[in-house]
């Protein structure tokens, strides 16, 4: 594997600031407006962006810091009916090189290793074909479309929802339709 996931350090805060300030740094499918950099720094000072319910890690490629992966706990009713929802944000210079697939595989392995949750899911814009391919290569199954779920670039956008169950992950990451 060419990418490594690791906790964010103070020296990495430039990346979070770039993602908060530059629309292209996170990509057109992740950009939803400028974010409060001071709030990011306060959260980093509190818990290094990792808690029991969510987190963010650096994606490090052989030739530099490629971006971040993040996760958060979602529930479907009772607190014990939970799953992880994951996301990724790669810098433009690291896209279309397979790093997204590798980073998401590594994040899946990490989350299944540290928690008993059965399901990991991800959403992506219906027009984000690169992320759809990366999720399929990482073993995720597309389950359907969530209509008008995300407001971005002046209009409501549809999202595809993908999932990967623990047993499917143990089988290995085979592409799924």
Average pLDDT of the chain is 91
Q: 80-125 pLDDT, tens per residue?
A: 899 999 999 999 999 989 899 999 999 999 999 999 999 999 999 9
Does residue 176 surpass a pLDDT of 80? no
- pLDDT of the residue at 43: 93
Q: How far is CA 82 from the centre of its chain?
A: 17
Q: Which of 114, 88, 99 is nearest to 63 (CA)?
A: 99
Say if residues 29 and 126 touch (Cβ distance below 8 Å). no
d(CA 70, CA 160): 18
Would you identify the CATH topology of the domain 4-170? Aminopeptidase (3.40.630)
Q: pLDDT-derived band of residue 175, with 50, 70 and 90 as boundaries?
A: very low
Global model pTM greater than 0.85: yes
For residue 126 the two structure tokens come to: 């219906």
Quick one: pLDDT at residue 1?
Answer: 64
Domain boundaries along the sequence of the chain: 4-170
DSSP 90-135: E-GGGTTSSHHHHHHHHHHHHHHHH----EEEEEEETT-HHHHHHH
């Amino acid at each position: 594997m060419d990418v490594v996931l690791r906790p964010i350090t103070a020296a990495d805060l430039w990346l979070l600031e770039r993602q908060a300030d530059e629309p292209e740094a996170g990509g057109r499918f992740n950009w939803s407006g400028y974010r409060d950099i001071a709030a990011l720094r306060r959260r980093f000072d509190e818990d290094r962006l990792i808690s029991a319910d969510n987190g963010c890690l650096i994606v490090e490629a052989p030739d530099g810091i490629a971006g971040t992966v993040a996760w958060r706990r979602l529930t479907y009713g009772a607190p014990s009916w939970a799953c992880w929802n994951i996301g990724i944000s790669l810098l433009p210079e690291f896209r279309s090189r397979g790093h997204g697939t590798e980073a998401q595989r590594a994040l899946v392995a990490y989350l299944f290793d540290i928690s008993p949750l059965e399901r990991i899911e991800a959403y992506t814009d219906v027009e984000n074909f690169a992320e759809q391919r990366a999720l399929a290569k990482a073993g995720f199954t597309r389950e359907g479309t969530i209509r008008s779920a995300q407001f971005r670039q002046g209009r409501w956008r549809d999202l595809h929802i993908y999932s990967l169950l623990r047993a499917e992950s143990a089988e290995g990451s085979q592409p799924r339709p």
